[in-house]
Structure 1
Amino acid sequence: MCLCWAFRSDTEQSGCQWAVSSLGVAHVADRGIRYLSKLCSKRYKCISQKLSEVSHDVALLEEVWSEKDYMKLKEKLASYYPHSHYFRSGVIGSGLCVFSKHPIIDTLLYQYSLNGYPFMLHHGDWFGGKSVGLVVLNLSGIIVNAYVTHLHAEYSREKDAYHPHRILQAWELGQFVRHTSQVADIVLLGGDLNMHPDDLGNRLLRSLTGLRDSFIEADSYEGPEGGCTSIPQNSFTSKHEFNSFPQGIRIDYILFKGSDKYSINCRALQTTQATDGREFPISDHEAVSATLQVQHGTTQRLLGGAEIGAIDVLNEARTELRVGLHVATGHQRGAGRLFGLSIALVLLSVAIALCGITSKALSFVFGAETLAEEGLPIVVLCLLGLGASLSALLAIAAYVLFTTEIKALRGAEDEMRRQTHTLQHALIHDKGRAMI
């Protein structure tokens, strides 16, 4: 799937209004990969046409895996969006790119520490190098930090083996936004979070950053019920995803917040519905359009109740990371045992081969008949030793992989524990001030 999050600005007496919209391009199962995705070239043509029809300030796209496709989009949109940037990471790239009417002041890419497993080839998230991209823009003197991201997919709601990875990604995303947006006037985040609105990772992200959900905040809404961005009416969606959610799911978001200089509110939100008169959908996810109004003013600080809520979410997230840590530790130990067994087989095959060679040598020297010819053929022993050696190498690779996962999960859990203590001290301090 390829998502485009775009911003449009207009000047009014009451302030500045921006329209933030998202347009889907490629099917998530096809990953927007050349020669594999259904109608890929036609959908890229549709996205370029759609972006050129509407006057946006900046467009952020997801899952443009091929840089050639990015270059084609850049060429077609050059007269509308003279400034652009392509974020590179992973084996096949992050899939994130930006088109802007305004000069891009700065860019930054952060690749998440964990992103699935390389041996899960049929999922492929690991090869995509899932990341968060940041573009810093100056819109008429207003500094805007616009983030675009794509988190690890949820392939099974009931047995989600990647849940700890997505929790860690949500934590790192929140930390990245917090530490890079301190001087920004406006913060915008658009992306496929692959999380339902009330999922732990979503609550963790919002509690960390203070970002607000445009669907919840919108004064008016038009689109599928519940703001669903993945609906069964879309021909590119996998129908088994809706067994528990017949109306659809909402996993694509436009989040925002202001600063001590500017306040921001969502006036309207629109979500498309399947083809919307087109021959085919341009994505498996629906397009989202939000109108945000920016005014001079101060964004209210988090109150004590919000801090308490953040502490509860952090404790819940730490528990989930510990579960992932337990599973990863088990996998690490399994890889260690496989390595030991493989080495034992290598040594055994070498020992048997040496015994056979020694027996034949003695038979040749003394002219005596031995039972060496009744043993395993040397070719079989060589194949056994080769297979055991390859198994040992795979075990080493798996051990390193799971060790890296353990370190990342432990590191995130330590950071969450420290953040929890910080919030607790801040809460105690605020209560003390309130009592004075």
Structure 2
Amino acid sequence: MEGDPTLRLRVFDLNCWAIRYLSKRRQERVQLIGDTLRREGFDLVLLQEVWSEQDYSDLKVKLGGCYPFSHYFRSGVIGSGLCVFSRFPILDTLLYQYSLNGYPYMLQHGDWFCGKSVGLVPAWGCQHHGHFAPPSCQLHAEYCREKDAYLPHRLVQAWELAQFIRHTSKAADVVLLGGDLNMHPEDAGIRLLRGWTGLRDAFAEATRFEGCEDGCTLVPNNCFTVKSELLPFPLGIRIDYILYKAVSSFTVKCEELKTTTGTAPGMDIPFSDHEAVMATLHIRRQGQAAGDTLGTA
């Protein structure tokens, strides 16, 4: 709302695990995701692993009334899987494909063929709420933590992502980053990314949290996760993030962070093998009274 001095921004992030012909109950889950997004009315939706353009088109039709602006990022042989739905006008789009991204002979992993990338969609909130630069991204999967052949790849990708954010966010008032970073919070790559960009972790900064213990987004009680891969982590792991920072004369505070906790309400399946991450951010100009009336875009 243009007249309100503070923006209440609701962000939804999810790795949808929607691989055509391979992901279990894909079409049913994509429909469920669309129904939930239409009902909940977030301001910004960042999705990964939407590998089928038909799935994106179906979501676009379903969500057109509440998210009039959207974009699907094309990359590699099979596509980046990244797409964005927004209540705000999208001013431009930019896709950057990481220079180091797996091996073509590792067919069973597939990271090389999709061309893991970061997609940028600068958006305009309104006259009072400023210019947002929300990248959506996915980094190379880990596959095996004990014998991690792709650690150098993720470190290079984290460095390139940090450089990308630094060079594309100078004209923005607020920077948001959502995605499956495939890194634990204490890993070198995520510390490099946050240290070099100044991005803040919504989970660590949130005033209120509701969801899986420790904010985990890959949990053993999800029926689609590979239980053997999570044996060293009985609670699960946190590899999906919403990161943010204010750039110019704005301040950003994370009021609330939520994750889904397995099966979707009223259903026998979850949205994905990953849990969704949902953040509520308060954005206002510096010097503005904290008690001013809150609004939405």
2:248 maps to 260
1:286 aligns with 2:272: no
CA contact (8 A) 1:105 1:136 kept: yes
CA contact (8 A) 1:260 1:297 kept: no
What CA deviation, in whole Å up to 9, does each residue of 1:214-248 have, x standing for no partner?
Answer: 01001111111111011101010011122211111
Identity of aligned residues (%): 57
2:32 maps to 46
1:20 aligns with 2:11: yes
1:95 aligns with 2:81: yes
Matched residues in 2 for 1:268 and 1:230: separation?
A: 20
TM-aligned CA deviation for residue 11 of structure 1: 7.2
The amino acid of 2:206's aligned partner reads A
Matched residues in 1 for 2:281 and 2:221: separation?
A: 28
Which one scores higher on RCO, CA 8 angstroms, separation ≥ 6?
2
1:202 aligns with 2:190: yes
Task: Say which one has the larger Rg.
Answer: 1
Matched residues in 2 for 1:267 and 1:296: separation?
A: 16
What CA deviation, in whole Å up to 9, does each residue of 1:9-44 have, x standing for no partner?
Answer: 89755x221122224532xxxxx2222211011011
What CA deviation, in whole Å up to 9, does each residue of 1:249-279 have, x standing for no partner?
Answer: 0000000000231010111111111114421
1:33 aligns with 2:19: yes
Q: TM-score, normalised by structure 2?
A: 0.92
Cα distance, 1:143–1:149 mapped onto 2, change above 3 Å: same
Partner residue of 1:55 out of 41, 44, 67 = 41
CA contact (8 A) 2:137 2:178 kept: yes
Cα distance, 1:35–1:276 mapped onto 2, change above 3 Å: closer
1:178 maps to 166
CA contact (8 A) 1:231 1:237 kept: yes
The amino acid of 1:64's aligned partner reads V
Q: Secondary structure at the match of 1:106?
A: coil
**5+ long unaligned stretches in structure 1:** 1-8, 27-31, 299-436
The amino acid of 2:278's aligned partner reads S
Q: TM-score, normalised by structure 1?
A: 0.63
Give the 5 Å matches for 1:78-157.
78-141=64-127, 142-157=130-145
Runs of 4+ more than 6 Å apart: none
CA contact (8 A) 2:12 2:44 kept: no
CA contact (8 A) 1:20 1:289 kept: yes
Matched residues in 2 for 1:134 and 1:21: separation?
A: 16
Matched residues in 1 for 2:138 and 2:285: separation?
A: 31
Q: Secondary structure at the match of 1:191?
A: strand
CA contact (8 A) 2:137 2:180 kept: yes
TM-aligned CA deviation for residue 56 of structure 1: 2.1
**5+ long unaligned stretches in structure 2:** 288-297
Structure with higher helix content: 1
2:285 maps to 296
TM-aligned CA deviation for residue 195 of structure 1: 0.2
The amino acid of 1:73's aligned partner reads L
Partner residue of 1:273 out of 249, 255, 261 = 261
Cα distance, 1:92–1:188 mapped onto 2, change above 3 Å: same
TM-aligned CA deviation for residue 101 of structure 1: 2.3
Equivalenced residues, count: 284
Matched residues in 1 for 2:13 and 2:69: separation?
A: 19
CA contact (8 A) 1:230 1:251 kept: yes
